C-alpha cells in the first residue's frame, strides 16, 4: 500500500491487518519500487497524488515490468475524467476519499477475483 499521508497510511494498514490481509506500507511509489512487489501480493493500493511518481505512473511502471498484480487507486482529488482514466489504465478499483473501510475491503476482495491485465 502506498500513501504519503501518515495517518491515512496507518489507518489503512490497521484496517487491512484487522481484516486478515498482511500489509506492507510505503510513503512513496519509489519506496515500493525499491522494495519490489512481493510474490503472492493480493493487490497494490495506491494514492493518486504522491511525492515523485503518481499512483497512475506507478501502475504504468508495474505493467511495463510485467507485474500484473491488481491495482486499487485511491484519491482525494476525484474527477470523472480521472476515474475513467484510472480504470482505462487497468486499475481494478478506484475509490474517492473519504471512503468507508468496507468499501476498501470490498475492493480488495473484488480485486482478488478479477483477472489482471499484463
Q: Where are the domains of the chain?
A: 6-112
Is the preceding peptide bond at 98 cis, omega within 30 degrees of 0? yes
Q: What is the mean pLDDT of residues 48-55?
A: 96
Tell me the residue length of the chain: 118
Instruction: Give the per-residue pLDDT at 42.
Output: 85
Residue 39 has pLDDT above 80, yes or no: no
Instruction: Give the per-residue pLDDT at 116.
Output: 53
pLDDT in tens, 84-104: 999 999 999 999 999 999 999
CATH of 6-112, one of 3.40.50.300, 3.30.1490.190, 3.40.50.2300, 3.30.930.10: 3.40.50.2300
**CB neighbour list of residue 15: distance below 8 Å, 6 or more residues apart:** 101, 104, 105
Residue 23 has pLDDT above 80, yes or no: yes
Amino acid at each position: 500500500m502506498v500513501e504519503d499521508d501518515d495517518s491515512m497510511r496507518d489507518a489503512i494498514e490497521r484496517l487491512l491487518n484487522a481484516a486478515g490481509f498482511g500489509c506492507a506500507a510505503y510513503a512513496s511509489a519509489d519506496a515500493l519500487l525499491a522494495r519490489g512487489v512481493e510474490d503472492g501480493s493480493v493487490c497494490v493500493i495506491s494514492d493518486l497524488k504522491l511525492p515523485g511518481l503518481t499512483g497512475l505512473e506507478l501502475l504504468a511502471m508495474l505493467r511495463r515490468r510485467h507485474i500484473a498484480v491488481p491495482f486499487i487507486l485511491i484519491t482525494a482529488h476525484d474527477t470523472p475524467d480521472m476515474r475513467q482514466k484510472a480504470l482505462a489504465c487497468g486499475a481494478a478499483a478506484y475509490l474517492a476519499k473519504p471512503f468507508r473501510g468496507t468499501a476498501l475491503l470490498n475492493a480488495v476482495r473484488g480485486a482478488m477475483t478479477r483477472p489482471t491485465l499484463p
